[in-house]
């Protein structure tokens, strides 16, 4: 079955890292409600949710996606690009240890899980302000023996690769062509976000459902008759987060 590791929102969430967005006031109660609704949405599409307790002194710790890459064979524990986020990883390693062999990415490499899109045996890694080229080489050495092909993909204007492109069907990607070149994904059916909704490329595809922010009605229409569950994530979006970043999803 699909398992999702999540983490409750920190009391210090308002002090989150921001790269491309201006700081805006975050309603912490609403953020917690939205996060709990998100966990319910994961359950409603058949995932088992392992909800970790908040780490009150780590503002961005709700964004567990950045701390690990969970493959069928192992979990690579990342070294996040933002120094303020590096203390998030030990507890994630502990949470994943019952399910996967743990392989840490060591200094000096920096890599955020939000930059890693795994589609079957291909791993796309975004070159962002958080993930450097050296770390993609380090990751390649770890995963190549398992039969994965790794492709480093430049991105521009957004935080992570998965801000720009995510999987929304067996061979379909949802993508913002302003932030990542379509040419890297020629073998897929591509759905482009509506130009008025640049942040609309981030969705969770799970058990043939799409979990999707309720803020992008135009792009939602482009998803056609796919099964979609919308969730409100306005407060998470103010912290430059979206739907993939709040869970680590894997088969158990």
245 is known as an active-site residue? yes
Q: Closer to ligand CIR at the Cβ: 144 or 247?
A: 247
Under the binding rule (CB under 6 A), the answer on residue 160 touching ligand CIR is: yes
Say how far apart CA 75 and CA 92 lie, in whole Å.
10
Single out the residue of 8, 82, 118, 142 in contact with ligand CIR (rule: CB under 6 A).
82
**Which H or E run contains 143?**
helix 133-143
Taking the least distance from each CB to ligand CIR, the nearer of 189 and 214 is: 214
Question: Are residues 8 and 196 in contact, defined by beta-carbon separation less than 8 angstroms?
Answer: no
Each residue 35-64 as x (binds ligand CIR by CB under 6 A) or -, in order, gives -------------------------x--x-
Nearest distance, CB of residue 66 and ligand CIR, angstroms: 5
* Residue 112 CB, nearest approach to ligand CIR (Å): 6
Bridge partners for 76 per DSSP: 69, 103
Q: What percent of the chain is helix, strand and coil (3-state, nearest 5)?
A: 30, 25, 40
- Site for ligand CIR contains 66 (CB under 6 A): yes
How far apart, in Å, are the Cα atoms of 209 and each of 108, 160, 176, 227, 243? 38, 23, 20, 5, 13
Token pair recorded at residue 162: 């998965």
Q: Which of the following is catalytic: 16, 158, 160, 199?
A: 160
Question: Per CB under 6 A, does 199 bind ligand CIR?
Answer: no
Contacts of 89 (CB under 8 A, 6+ apart): 67, 68, 77, 78, 79, 80, 104
Query: Taking the complex as a whole, how short is the minimal distance between the CB of residue 87 and ligand CIR, in angstroms?
Result: 13
- Angstrom distance (rounded) from CA 229 to CA 213: 9
Burial 23-56 (b: 16+ CB within 10 A, else e): eeebeeeebbebbeebbebbeebebebbebebbe
Query: What's the CA gap between 117 and 244, in Å, rounded?
Result: 10
Residue number, nearest CB to ligand CIR: 114
Single out the residue of 5, 9, 16, 231 in contact with ligand CIR (rule: CB under 6 A). Answer: 16
Residue owning tokens 């920190």: 10
Q: How far is the CB of 202 from ligand CIR (least distance, A)?
A: 7
Decide: is 118 part of the binding site for ligand CIR (CB under 6 A).
Answer: no
- Taking the least distance from each CB to ligand CIR, the nearer of 82 and 102 is 82
As a whole number of angstroms, the distance between CA 68 and CA 76 comes to 6
Q: Draw the binding track, 128-157, toward ligand CIR (x: CB under 6 A; -: no contact).
A: ------------------------------
CA distance 27 to 235: 7
Q: Does 17 bind ligand CIR (CB under 6 A)?
A: yes
Binders of ligand CIR among residues 208 to 247 (CB under 6 A) are 239-242, 245
Which residues participate in catalysis according to the annotation? 160, 245
Which stretches of the chain bind ligand CIR, using CB under 6 A? 16-17, 19, 60, 63, 65-66, 82, 85, 114, 159-160, 239-242, 245
């Amino acid at each position: 079955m699909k398992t999702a590791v999540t983490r409750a929102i920190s009391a210090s969430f308002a002090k989150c890292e921001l790269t491309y967005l201006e700081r805006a006031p975050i309603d912490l109660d609403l953020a917690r409600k939205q996060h709990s609704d998100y966990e319910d949405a994961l359950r409603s599409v058949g995932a088992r949710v392992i909800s970790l307790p908040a780490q009150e002194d780590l503002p961005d710790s709700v964004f567990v996606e950045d701390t690990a890459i969970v493959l069928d064979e192992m979990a690579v524990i990342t070294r996040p690009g933002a120094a303020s986020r590096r203390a998030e990883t030990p507890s994630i390693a502990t949470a994943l240890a019952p399910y996967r062999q743990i392989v840490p990415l060591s200094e000096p490499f920096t890599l955020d899980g939000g930059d890693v899109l795994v589609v079957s045996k291909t791993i796309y890694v975004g070159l962002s302000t958080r993930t450097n080229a050296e770390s993609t080489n380090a990751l390649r050495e770890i995963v190549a023996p398992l039969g994965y092909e790794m492709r480093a993909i430049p991105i521009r204007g957004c935080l992570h690769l998965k801000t720009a492109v995510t999987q929304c069907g067996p061979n379909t990607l949802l993508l913002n062509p302003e932030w990542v070149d379509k040419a890297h994904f020629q073998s897929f059916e591509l759905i482009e976000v509506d130009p008025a909704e640049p942040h609309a490329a981030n969705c969770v595809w799970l058990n043939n459902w799409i979990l999707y922010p309720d803020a992008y009605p135009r792009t939602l229409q482009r998803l056609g008759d796919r099964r979609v569950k919308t969730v409100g994530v306005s407060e998470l979006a103010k912290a430059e987060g979206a739907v993939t970043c709040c869970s680590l999803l894997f088969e158990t």
